[in-house]
Structure 1
Amino acid sequence: MKPDEIRKLDAYFKRVFQNPKIEVKARPRKDDSAEVYVGDEFLGIVFKDEDDGDYNFSMAILDIDLA
């Protein structure tokens, strides 16, 4: 993902979730997606659909996190 896309996504997540601690980071060995964090806590992956230009956010929720 390009740096300008990451900056736009970072601003979007901060605004939508009203949390300035959210951070979108480039992935070390992948350029088709970025990682989303709150502090050091990994939240999920955001992918870009190259066909239509939309972005998809995928977040796994572990059963132990719900307890």
Structure 2
Amino acid sequence: MKADELKKLEKYLRGTLKSPTLTVKALPRKNDTAEVYMADEFVGLISKDEEEGELSYHFTMTILDIDLD
């Protein structure tokens, strides 16, 4: 993903999740995926999906059962 795209996603997620420490970082060898962090903690991935002329992004966050305790 391009730098301007990452900044737009970061701004959107910061506002939506109300987390000013959230950052979106590009993956070096993946043009369609970025990592999401809150402070220094990895929380998920964003994947870019371009299908039939439409662009969307998928945010995936895994929650372990031990995190719920």
Give me the TM-score of the superposition, normalised by structure 2: 0.90
Q: Structure 1: give runs of 5+ residues left out of the alignment.
A: none
Q: Structure 2: give runs of 5+ residues left out of the alignment.
A: none
Which residue does the alignment assign to 1:12?
12
Which residue does the alignment assign to 1:56?
58
Write the letter of the residue equivalent to 1:36. V
Q: Measure how far apart 1:29 and its partner are.
A: 2.2
Give me the TM-score of the superposition, normalised by structure 1: 0.92
Which residue does the alignment assign to 2:21?
21
User: How far does the alpha carbon of each residue in 1:3-47 deviate from its partner, in whole angstroms, 9 at most, with x for none?
Assistant: 111000000011111110011111122111110000111110001
